[in-house]
Chain A
Amino acid sequence: DSGVTQTPKHLITATGQRVTLRCSPRSGDLSVYWYQQSLDQGLQFLIQYYNGEERAKGNILERFSAQQFPDLHSELNLSSLELGDSALYFCASSPNGGGTAYNEQFFGPGTRLTVL
């Protein structure tokens, strides 16, 4: 158990819909990262938040957005869903946001999204 929790575990929805994925980082970790894993693209970095502020952006679609709340949990919002958005979505946390320190990430169990 990494200490990172993600809800829900599974989500089935239809094209065009909007969903919200939730992540609670390990206690004390300030950074939250979101990754998408699909069969054809592998594990891809989407976005990072550090202490409530966006820190880095990867290949995140404009239909996707995220935020980190004052209690440090994070939500990933996916809208206008398409079949190709079906994937595993992982959240990870780390104590800091990179900088000068080495930065191990702890991954949650993931949310499996199926878009029909």
Chain B
Amino acid sequence: DAKTTQPTSMDCAEGRAANLPCNHSTISGNEYVYWYRQIHSQGPQYIIHGLKNNETNEMASLIITEDRKSSTLILPHATLRDTAVYYCIVSRWGSSNTGKLIFGQGTTLQVKP
């Protein structure tokens, strides 16, 4: 599975958009980009995923560059409850995929009042 690179930490003002970048320059054509987050030692929580098109759900938007080598997770109106560690994960799909997730160090997002 492709390796990802994320900034160690970021700050965001409450009510503003939080843009979390992820670099995955070695991504293959059959690999999804997933985002999960973990709030203070709770179990990780799925946020969103994408293959090559931009995606949006009730939690966030995912923007994937055309060459798929990087992506950005956007939380449109960050709240204090969005303070968490955000993990960008790239994982294969297909017959050889087991679905396991390989977590990196993630980005600690601190939302400030």
- B43 adjacent to A109 (CB under 8 Å): yes
What distance in Å separates the Cβ of B77 from its nearest Cβ neighbour in chain A? 24
Contact of B97 among A44, A88, A92, A98 (CB under 8 A): A98
Determine the chain B residues whose CB is within 8 A of the CB of A103 once the complex forms. 93, 97, 99
Tell me if B43 and A97 are in contact (CB < 8 A). no
Number of B interface residues at 8 Å Cβ cutoff, please give it: 22
CB–CB A110/B43 < 8 A: yes
Binding site of B, secondary structure by majority: helix, strand, loop or mixed? loop
Contact B44–A107 (Cβ < 8 Å): yes
B95 touches A96 (CB 8 A): no
**Contact present for A98 and B98 (CB under 8 Å):** yes
Q: By the criterion CB–CB under 8 Å, are B99 and A42 in contact?
A: no
* A-B contacts besides A33-B101, A50-B98, 14 pairs, CB < 8 Å: A31-B99, A35-B101, A42-B103, A43-B44, A45-B103, A58-B100, A90-B43, A94-B99, A97-B99, A98-B98, A98-B99, A101-B93, A108-B43, A110-B41
Task: List residues of B whose CB falls within 8 A of some A CB.
Answer: 32, 38, 41-46, 49, 87, 93-95, 97-105
Listed by A's residue number, 28 A-B pairs whose Cβ atoms lie within 8 Å are A31-B99, A33-B101, A42-B105, A43-B87, A45-B100, A45-B102, A50-B98, A55-B98, A58-B100, A90-B43, A92-B43, A97-B99, A98-B93, A98-B97, A99-B99, A100-B93, A103-B93, A104-B46, A104-B49, A105-B99, A106-B46, A107-B45, A108-B43, A109-B42, A109-B43, A110-B41, A110-B42, A110-B43
| A binding-site residues for B, Cβ under 8 Å | 2, 4, 31, 33, 35, 42-45, 48, 50, 55-56, 58, 88, 90, 92, 94, 96-110
